[in-house]
Structure 1
Amino acid sequence: MNTITRASRRDFLKIAGTTAGGLFIGFNWFSCDSPKVEVLSTEQILAQAKSFNAYLSISPTGDVVIYSPNPELGQNIKTSFPMVVAEELDADWEKVRVVQANLDTEKFDRQLTGGSGAMPHSWERLRKAGATAKFLLVAAAAEKWNVPAEEIVVESGIISHPGSGNKGHFGEFVELAATKIAPEEVQLKDKKDFKIIGTPVKNVDAKEMYTGKPLYGLDFYREGMKHAMVQRAPFGMKIKSVDDAAARAVSGISDVVVFGTSVAVVGNSTWPLLKAKKLLKVEYEPDGAVESSADHDRIFSELMAKGKAEVKRKDGNVDIAFKNAAKVVTAEYQCPFLAHSPMEPENFFAHVSGDRCELIGPTQTPDRARQAAAQILGIPVENITVEITRLGGGFGRRLRADYAEEAVHISKAINAPVKVTWNREDELTGGAYRPAVRYRFEAALDASGTMMGYKLRGVGMNAGNTTRENNFPSGAVDHVLIESIEHQSSITTNAWRAPITNFLAYAEQSFLDEVALEVGKDPVEFRLKLLNRAKTNPVGELGYDVDRMIGVVKTAAEKGNWGKNPEVKQGFSVYFSHRSYVAQVADIEVKGGTPVLKKITAVTDCGMVVNPTGANHQVRGGIVDGMGHAMYTNLTFENGLPKQRNYDSYRLIRLKEVPEIETHFVDSGFDPTGLGEPALPPTGGAIANAIFAATGRRLRSQPFIEQKEFSDIKLEIKRA
């Protein structure tokens, strides 16, 4: 069935190119990622790609230029956004060019990357952009040929009228189309007629990436700019004194700048900066709590036992349920701080000149960088420009603007353009980390094995709400109490891929397996029984779609051959996050007494899949990320500094440790939902539950390899 969406003339902005005959179409999307437009020819846009601010253009040559407002950090939005526009436009994908937009809050409403929200947020507006452009082109063709518009056919950038034999490409109708009035209603395609959406399309930046063309912040260079590296204070410390004489004496060093709790060395290239930074003599003194990992263990225990908790959800009467329980199952799970570890370390360029500032670099939140710069400099935000480069990873780290702020401080101090570059040690020691969290779960079981009571208490280090109180199994249990406690730590934290759920999912799904084992139920059937209860007789608010979750559970059990081969020990996990549902089955075979992680099967319901190639990469990447950090990675602190300073001690997953991964997608009929993050949360639980099935060892802390329960398990990985 075709969809009709209303678009007022206020939403639609149409401007005719007076010089080159270009047609530009854009929207004020209010709550979506949509721009208004400025007139520029395609040639001008391509020649001045860093200064455009239109959304969609069509040139007299028939080429279509689509501008991507959201920062691209590997989530493939720079490819999938244009695919949606091109679909409704019925463009020839081979004639589509994609350009990264710069920050412009007048033309773009939500110009950020985070929370796996860009596609679900922009889906309808992207379609409307393409469909409205096609409507105007068809109207122009109908007038030019003097034929009814409804008889005109558009396919792959060609407009034709079968009855008269007239035919032409988009560019032939641009000038006339620009004089037409945009409709208040525009008809969208029936999804069954999609030709671009749902097909595998390679990354639009692929050629530039594998040929080494400059795309990333680290690639950026401007003649005459200075370089800088920064020494940052340990967490909880401030500067007492600075002796920079030896650093200033290094050839190639032009300045040393002290600001806040940081000291920057400035020079003409990065190599002398590395040497000079090591020669800085900075003495620190406490400025609050200076924490070590031993402190965190004590704090967790104290707060879990008697901390004042915020009640996030309360259903029924938990006290009575646990008092009358035939059996109570209790377990605690803990996760460490983690760094984000993007492949590209933080970097940013700033040029402060009088009451103006130019910023260039990799950021997930360009407006945050601009706002921070305005506050530092005391100038209006409109005097600051931000050019967005492609990001070499982010995972939430580049939601912060601290590294951009450093560039602004230094440029202001030296009155010159400067590029700040972090090295790997800076990335691990000066970052904003995933919060460390501890959870306590309790389940009250009646005599028949039904879970009638459920309690969850989370304690986090600068974690905010440590729970997702309306997620499963809430709604499936009569008596529920979910609480959260936050400890204000001097260690800065930040959203880390799939915030909170990246660990909470592992803990919840492992605990549900413990409960299933206690009542002698198959883990999949135990979950399905709870889900059916939530469907037929829900308790309180449901924050998830029961049918979609049931769908991925059943499909994963089928695709993963759950319980079919007694020689294969399996672990199951399912989770809802960022509007999507992912279930996973991990397979372990025991050979010669050695457990071998053979395969992970993943089933994802993220609504309609725009680009199967990108979707497959996102799921596989999420699984590798989830597995690696659950099994291997840890960040510990001593006197306010991480003990792990580089990859020789900060353990990441290696290529040989990645098992076979099989991906499947459920077409639930929904519009696209999130995909950059949802595949990560279930992975740790699936693997931990499979390890238990194979060894009888329950892993309640991450990373697994550092737990005593894992110490004598020689887990091998069978690569695909």
Structure 2
Amino acid sequence: MAQSTSRRDFLKMAATAGGGLVLGFNWFSAKAEMPSVVSKTVLAAGKAEFNSFLTISSDNIITIFSPNPELGQNIKTSFPMVVAEELDADWKTVSVVQAALDTKKFQRQVTGGSGAVPHSWMILRKAGATARAMLVEAASKRWNVPLSECSASDGFVIHSTSGKKLNYGELAEEASKLAVPSDVKLKDRKDFKLIGKALRNVENKNIITGKPMFGLDFHREGMLLAMIQRPEGFGMKVKSVDAAAAKAMPGIIDVVTFKNKVAVVGKSTWQINKARKALKIEYEKEGNIESSADHDKIFAELLNSDKAQVRRMEGDVESAFKNAAKVIKSEYQCPFLPHNPMEPMNFFAHVREDGVELAGPTQTPDSARKGVARLLNISEDKVTVEITRLGGGFGRRLMTDYVLEAAELSSIIKAPVKVIWTREDDMAGGSYRPSVRYRFEAALDASGNMVGYKLRGAGINAGNPTRENNFPSGAVDHLLIDSIEHKSPITTAPWRAPITNFLGYAEQAFLDEVAEAAKNDPIEFRLGLLEKAKTSPAGAVRYDIDRMIGVIKLAAEKSGWGTKKDVSQGFSVYFSHASYVAQVADVLVKAGKPVIQKIYAAVDCGEVINLSGARQQVMGGIVDGLGHAMYGNLTFKNGVPDQNNYNKYRLIRMKEVPEVDVFFVNNGISPTGLGEPALPPTGGAVANAIFKASGKRLKNQPFILEEPYAKAKSV
């Protein structure tokens, strides 16, 4: 029995037990060594480096480097799978290592925009194929046989005539001395052995056993810790600081005020957090101080303003609406949302005279390096960035504010320091999904055809809150899409599937309204629009019509659309990050309340690399989209968020997650995005199903504040 159990030990025991009563059996060591993350990978002696992504040691250990930050999107497994596939390696001999930032060896070391695999697909394939060609050539030369008689398979080069074979480790040194071929032949996809299969995440064991690998685990000898008190509300600044009581508390080394922030530096997070509460800080107004009630008025003004920027216009919109047999008009609104990654913001920095060492969880390591170099007025080559695993990001770690804080504080206190945010810091001082309100209008002719379409997007720090070239653009002869923005002191940033995370729901819910007014089946209505875009497009069509039709028909087939009794079904389809996802939600009514029973997803993301990881990406996107559509809500009073921890901010619960079935289109095209495209259609499919079940249109998120949920006794 463990005498003392840390929170991480408890989580490990609970995960291993798999539920039920968790007794204090210490199946893992409760006393771990001080966690550390080595900055340089130590490889076996006699390694041969074939390219940036790959080394092979003489003892046949194949090390594949994964350059992009890993935040749960499975990139650390998928990237090496592509290399190993073309290398024709035995996966059991492959070791995967997170590469540090190196812009000379790697391109686009970024996790964001669902673009990592699409960008690197051919680069990774060529890296593996090049090494394979060199190994085969080395064997041919050693055996003094024609190159055509040698081939690679499962980590060996084989001579077809004699049956001789050598493993890659035996050939690595010789192969590394050969000239790198300028052109190599890639595998035919029918010969793939790894790509398209379901492989375990290479870090499963490390995650389950709690091996230090996240930013919060990072440690350097002599490192100090710090927490920073920021202004309590947006539009405020620090006026005065009395830190005497905090400085006198145990474990506190210093209290530093810089750039509208007060940093408490010490030896343990517990001591620092206690001392931070002892600070006496007076704030004063710096700019606008806004409340959620103000935003309601702002949206009303924006939607009626004559200053909107036209994003796309086709045909004669005014005449189409003037002569319409029927006009449908609706507004949809979404709130601000925090990113809420499980691991709060943190970063390590050591600013020395000869350079700067940075380490921690970042989606954009190169931007972090550039930002620190500018901040300290030094050259970028003096800044190194080590990438730890990210405990979630969802766009928050595209920002570098928390990295710059650590670097600036280290430069002030002349010591290595790790800055750690609390959950309250993360939610109250983060960058949020913008709040947006949309106004849609559709014009129908006497036959129920949509001949006119208008969309205005009004956003608070949202930039352009529309995607003017997405469906149904190109399918409507008379179309106007414009946008208008309000600048606010509330900071915003990309949030998983930026803009489309809400726009996808709003557009698809509105199209169902239009289909109902046209007395048409929702799926047939959309297919009719796509056929119109295909045969007589209205302006440029910037989405693949056939791919969209493909997922629509697949989702309808797999869900049994229109064939089920006592089940209300809702449909949605969306194109984002170059991928296409259609969803059908099944809803039952239990005790007078709609209950989401199942969601079907048809996905066209091109070549699926890791089937297991791909399914998890889609399912995770659906759960994320459903949870935030149903429950997520961040409001403000006088610039201060009303919700600053999970006791006030509602997340989806495990019992509320429906069954999810995922189906992939096997078209063999190069991979397109997958980390985000499954999220945007979810809210629309669910809202449309709830309408079928209850007769109530959900036009605002979160859904629990709307009928039929608002009057329910429990949600």
Q: TM-score, normalised by structure 2?
A: 0.92
Cα distance in 2, alignment partners of residues 307 and 323 from structure 1:
19
Change (3 A) 1:230 1:44: farther
Change (3 A) 1:53 1:341: farther
* 1:224-623 → structure 2 map (5 Å cutoff): 224-233=222-231, 234-623=233-622
> Mean Cα displacement is larger for which, 349-358 or 437-446?
349-358
Following superposition, the deviation at residue 162 of structure 1 comes to 2.3
Opposite residue 674 of structure 1, the aligned amino acid is G
Following superposition, the deviation at residue 182 of structure 1 comes to 2.0
Cα distance in 1, alignment partners of residues 535 and 291 from structure 2:
49
Opposite residue 300 of structure 1, the aligned amino acid is F
1:199 pairs with 2:197: yes
Q: Provide, for residues 108-137 of structure 1, a one-character-per-residue CA deviation record: whole Å limited to 9, x for no partner.
A: 221111000010111111111111111111
Opposite residue 358 of structure 2, the aligned amino acid is L
In structure 2, runs of 5+ residues without a counterpart are 1-39
Opposite residue 110 of structure 1, the aligned amino acid is R
Decide whether the 8 Å contact of 2:696 with 2:707 is kept in 1. no
Decide whether the 8 Å contact of 1:348 with 1:419 is kept in 2. yes
Following superposition, the deviation at residue 590 of structure 1 comes to 2.5
Q: Provide, for residues 590-632 of structure 1, a one-character-per-residue CA deviation record: whole Å limited to 9, x for no partner.
A: 2454432111111111111100000010001000000000000
Opposite residue 511 of structure 1, the aligned amino acid is F
Q: Provide, for residues 378-413 of structure 1, a one-character-per-residue CA deviation record: whole Å limited to 9, x for no partner.
A: 111111111000000000000001111111121111
Q: Provide, for residues 347-404 of structure 1, a one-character-per-residue CA deviation record: whole Å limited to 9, x for no partner.
A: 0001111252111100000111111211221111111111000000000000001111
Change (3 A) 1:715 1:583: farther
Decide whether the 8 Å contact of 2:113 with 2:676 is kept in 1. yes
Q: Residue 142 of structure 2: which of 141, 144, 163 is its match?
A: 144
Cα distance in 2, alignment partners of residues 568 and 193 from structure 1:
43
* 1:43-82 → structure 2 map (5 Å cutoff): 43=44, 54-82=52-80
Aligned position for 1:686? 685
> Mean Cα displacement is larger for which, 323-332 or 298-307?
298-307
1:214 pairs with 2:212: yes
Change (3 A) 1:660 1:395: same
Aligned position for 1:117? 115
Change (3 A) 1:307 1:438: farther
Decide whether the 8 Å contact of 2:694 with 2:708 is kept in 1. no
1:655 pairs with 2:650: no
Decide whether the 8 Å contact of 2:73 with 2:675 is kept in 1. yes
Following superposition, the deviation at residue 171 of structure 1 comes to 1.4
Decide whether the 8 Å contact of 2:440 with 2:510 is kept in 1. yes
> Mean Cα displacement is larger for which, 110-119 or 234-243?
234-243
- 2:304 counterpart SS class: helix
Q: Provide, for residues 453-479 of structure 1, a one-character-per-residue CA deviation record: whole Å limited to 9, x for no partner.
A: 000000111111111111100011001
- 1:222 counterpart SS class: coil
Following superposition, the deviation at residue 707 of structure 1 comes to 2.1
Cα distance in 1, alignment partners of residues 437 and 210 from structure 2:
43
Cα distance in 2, alignment partners of residues 652 and 592 from structure 1:
23
Report the count of equivalent residues.
Answer: 673
Q: Provide, for residues 51-78 of structure 1, a one-character-per-residue CA deviation record: whole Å limited to 9, x for no partner.
A: x994211111222111111000000111
Decide whether the 8 Å contact of 2:46 with 2:58 is kept in 1. no
Cα distance in 1, alignment partners of residues 189 and 402 from structure 2:
43
Decide whether the 8 Å contact of 1:293 with 1:638 is kept in 2. yes
- 2:514 counterpart SS class: helix
- 1:322 counterpart SS class: helix
Opposite residue 195 of structure 2, the aligned amino acid is I
Cα distance in 1, alignment partners of residues 485 and 298 from structure 2:
11
Opposite residue 62 of structure 2, the aligned amino acid is V
Change (3 A) 1:150 1:41: farther
Following superposition, the deviation at residue 708 of structure 1 comes to 4.5
Cα distance in 1, alignment partners of residues 210 and 43 from structure 2:
25
Q: Provide, for residues 474-512 of structure 1, a one-character-per-residue CA deviation record: whole Å limited to 9, x for no partner.
A: 011001100011111101100000000000000000000
Q: TM-score, normalised by structure 1?
A: 0.92
- 1:473 counterpart SS class: coil
Aligned position for 2:187? 189
Cα distance in 2, alignment partners of residues 478 and 191 from structure 1:
41
Opposite residue 42 of structure 1, the aligned amino acid is L
- 1:705 counterpart SS class: helix
Cα distance in 1, alignment partners of residues 493 and 371 from structure 2:
17
Q: Residue 169 of structure 1: which of 167, 177, 192 is its match?
A: 167
Opposite residue 447 of structure 1, the aligned amino acid is A
Decide whether the 8 Å contact of 1:471 with 1:576 is kept in 2. yes
Following superposition, the deviation at residue 248 of structure 1 comes to 1.1
Runs of 4+ deviating beyond 4 Å: 713-716
Cα distance in 2, alignment partners of residues 407 and 436 from structure 1:
29
Opposite residue 287 of structure 2, the aligned amino acid is G
Following superposition, the deviation at residue 228 of structure 1 comes to 0.4
Following superposition, the deviation at residue 296 of structure 1 comes to 0.9
Decide whether the 8 Å contact of 1:595 with 1:714 is kept in 2. no
Aligned position for 2:700? 701
1:90 pairs with 2:88: yes
Q: Provide, for residues 149-196 of structure 1, a one-character-per-residue CA deviation record: whole Å limited to 9, x for no partner.
A: 122121110111121121110112122212222222211111011001
Cα distance in 1, alignment partners of residues 155 and 106 from structure 2:
27
> Mean Cα displacement is larger for which, 329-338 or 138-147?
138-147
Change (3 A) 1:59 1:461: same
Cα distance in 2, alignment partners of residues 712 and 124 from structure 1:
54
Decide whether the 8 Å contact of 1:584 with 1:600 is kept in 2. yes
Opposite residue 453 of structure 1, the aligned amino acid is G
Decide whether the 8 Å contact of 1:597 with 1:715 is kept in 2. no
Decide whether the 8 Å contact of 1:339 with 1:428 is kept in 2. yes
Following superposition, the deviation at residue 226 of structure 1 comes to 0.7
Identity of aligned residues (%): 64
- 1:66 counterpart SS class: strand
Cα distance in 2, alignment partners of residues 331 and 397 from structure 1:
31
